[in-house]
Amino acid sequence: MSFFGLDCLGKKERELERKLQANDREYNLSFKYATNAIKTSKYNLFTFLPLNLFEQLQRIANAYFLFLLVLQVIPQISSLSWFTTVVPLVLVLSVTAAKDATDDINRYKSDNQVNNRKVQVLIDRKLRSEKWMDVQVGDIIKLENNQFVTADLLLLSSSEPLNLVYIETAELDGETNLKVRQALPVTGDLEDNIERLADFNGAVACEPPNNRLDRFAGTLSYGGQKYSLDNEKILLRGCTLRNTKWCFGLVLFGGPETKLMQNCGKSTFKRTTIDRLMNVLVLSIFGFLALMCTVLAIGNGFWEINEGSEFMVFLPRQDDNSSFLSAFLTFWSYVIILNTVVPISLYVSVEFIRLGNSFYIDWDRKMYHAHSNTPAEARTTTLNEELGQIKYVFSDKTGTLTQNIMTFKKCSINGKSYGDVYDYSGQRTEITEHTEVVDFSFNPLADLRFTFHDHALVETVKLENPEAHAFFRLLALCHTVMAEDKEEGELLYQAQSPDEGALVTAARNFGFVFQSRTPASVSIVEMGKRRSYELLAILDFNNVRKRMSVIVRSPEGKLSLYCKGADTIIYERLHPSCSKLMEVTTDHLDEFAGEGLRTLALAYRDLDEEYFRQWKQRHHEVSVSLDNREDRLDLLYEEIEKDLMLLGATAIEDKLQDGVPQTIEQLSKADIKIWVLTGDKQETAENIGYSCNLLREEMNEVFIISGNTPDDVRQELRNAQTTMKPEGADGTFFLQGGILGNSSKVVEDEMVNGEYGLVINGPSLAYALEPGMELEFLRTACMSKAVICCRVTPLQKAQVVELVKKYKQAVTLAIGDGANDVSMIKAAHIGVGISGQEGMQAVLSSDYSIAQFRFLQRLLLVHGRWSYLRMCKFLRYFFYKNFTFTFVHFWYAFFCGYSAQTVYDEWFITLYNLVYTALPVLGMSLFEQDVNDVWSFQHPQLYVPGQLNVYFSKKAFFKCALHSCYSSMVLFFIPYAAMHDTVRNDGKDVADYQSFAVLAQTCLLFAVTIQLALDMTYWTAVNAGFVLGSLAMYFAVTFAMYSNGMFLIMPSTFPFIGTARNSLNQPNIWLTILLTSVLCVLPVVAYRFLLLQVSPTINDKVMFKARQAKAMPPPPTRRARIRRTSSRRSGYAFSHAQGYGDLVTSGNFLRRPAAARSSGFTHTGRTTGFSPMGRSAGYSPSGRPQNVRFQDVEATSLQMYRTIKDPSL
More confident residue, 782 or 1119: 782
What is the average pLDDT value for the chain, to the nearest integer? 82
Percent of the chain with pLDDT over 70: 83
pLDDT reported for residue 730: 55
What are φ and ψ of residue 18, in 5° steps? -95, 130
Q: Please state, in angstroms and rounded to a whole number, the distance separating the CA atoms of residues 369 and 853.
A: 11
Instruction: Tell me the per-residue pLDDT of 1028-1041, one tens digit each, with 9 for 90 and over.
Output: 999 999 999 888 88
Question: What local confidence, expressed as pLDDT, does residue 1117 receive?
Answer: 55
Question: Tell me, what's the pLDDT at 334?
Answer: 87
One-letter amino acid at 1059 equals T
Active-site residues, by number, are 396
Question: What pLDDT, on the 0 to 100 scale, is given for residue 427?
Answer: 80
Of 74-78, 567-571, 797-801, 1173-1177, give the range with the top mean pLDDT.
Answer: 797-801
Taking alpha carbons only, the member of 839, 810, 936 closest to residue 366 is: 936
Give me the count of residues in the chain.
Answer: 1209
Is the pLDDT confidence value at 99 over 90? no
Q: What is the pLDDT of residue 924?
A: 93
Query: Helix crossing, 954-979 with 1067-1094: angle to 10°?
Result: 150
Confidence of residue 336 (pLDDT cuts 50, 70, 90): confident
Q: Exposed/middle/buried for 4, CB within 10 Å: 0-12, 13-18, 19+?
A: middle
Which span out of 171-175, 903-907, 941-945, 1192-1196 was modeled with the highest average pLDDT?
941-945
- 77-86, 600-609, 1180-1189, range with greatest mean pLDDT: 600-609
User: What pLDDT is stored for residue 626 in this prediction?
Assistant: 57
| Confidence check: pLDDT of 593 > 70 | yes
d(CA 400, CA 837): 10
pLDDT at site 1207: 42
pTM summary value: 0.72
- Phi first, then psi, for residue 242 (nearest 5°) are -130, 145
Mean pLDDT across 968-973:
95
Q: Which of 576-580, 845-849, 914-918, 1204-1208 has the lowest mean pLDDT?
A: 1204-1208
Q: Is the pLDDT of residue 945 over 90?
A: yes
Question: Which pLDDT does position 800 carry in this prediction?
Answer: 94
205-214, 403-412, 438-447, 1176-1185: lowest mean pLDDT where? Answer: 1176-1185
Cα 298 to Cα 301, 316, 323, 899, distances in angstroms: 5, 21, 10, 12
Give the model's pLDDT for residue 1177.
36
The pLDDT value recorded for residue 416 is 92
In the three-class reduction of DSSP (H, G, I as helix; E, B as strand; rest coil), residue 1149 is classed as: coil
Residue 590 vs residue 319, higher pLDDT: 590
Most confidently modeled of 228-232, 276-280, 444-448, 571-575?
Answer: 571-575
What percent of the chain stands above pLDDT 90? 39
Per-residue pLDDT averaged across 468-480, rounded?
Answer: 93
Burial (Cβ within 10 Å: 0-12, 13-18, ≥19) of residue 210 = middle
Judged against a pLDDT cut of 50, whether residue 444 lies above it is answered with yes
Distance CA 1148, CA 166 (A): 12
Question: CA 1149 to CA 51: how far, in whole Å?
Answer: 54
Q: Is the pLDDT of residue 174 over 90?
A: no
- Characterize the bridge pairing of strands 848-850 and 830-834: parallel
In angstroms, the CA 582 to CA 646 distance is: 7
Predicted confidence at residue 313, as pLDDT, reads 59
Confidence of residue 1114 (pLDDT cuts 50, 70, 90): low
Q: Which of 377-381, 939-943, 1073-1077 has the lowest mean pLDDT?
A: 377-381
pLDDT over 80 at 105, yes or no: yes
In the 3-class helix/strand/coil scheme, how is 698-731 assigned residue by residue?
Answer: CCCEEEEECCCCHHHHHHHHHHHHHHHCHHHCCC
Q: Is the pLDDT of residue 408 over 70?
A: yes
pLDDT surpassing 60 at residue 197: yes
**Which position has the higher pLDDT, 99 or 387?**
387
pLDDT band at 1127 (very low <50, low <70, confident <90, very high): low
The span from the CA of 497 to the CA of 491, in Å, is: 18
pLDDT at 410 > cutoff 90: yes
Select the more confidently predicted residue: 335 or 61: 335
> Could you tell me which of 961, 999, 1004, 960 has the C-alpha nearest to residue 980?
999
Higher pLDDT, 300 or 1182: 300
Q: What counts of helices (H) and strands (E) characterise the chain?
A: 42, 38
Per-residue pLDDT averaged across 810-824, rounded? 86
Q: How far apart are CA 427 and CA 433, in angstroms?
A: 19
The per-residue DSSP string of 459-473 comes to HHHHTT-HHHHHHHH
More confident residue, 70 or 4: 70
629: pLDDT strictly greater than 80: no
Least confident of 297-311, 447-461, 878-892: 297-311
CB atoms within 10 A of CB 51: 17
Least confident of 1-10, 348-357, 366-375, 715-724: 1-10
pLDDT, tens digit (0-9, with 9 covering 90-100), for 1133-1156: 445 556 566 666 666 555 444 444
Look at 433 and 156; give whichever has higher pLDDT: 156
In the prediction, which pLDDT does 1195 show?
A: 40
pLDDT recorded at residue 1047: 65
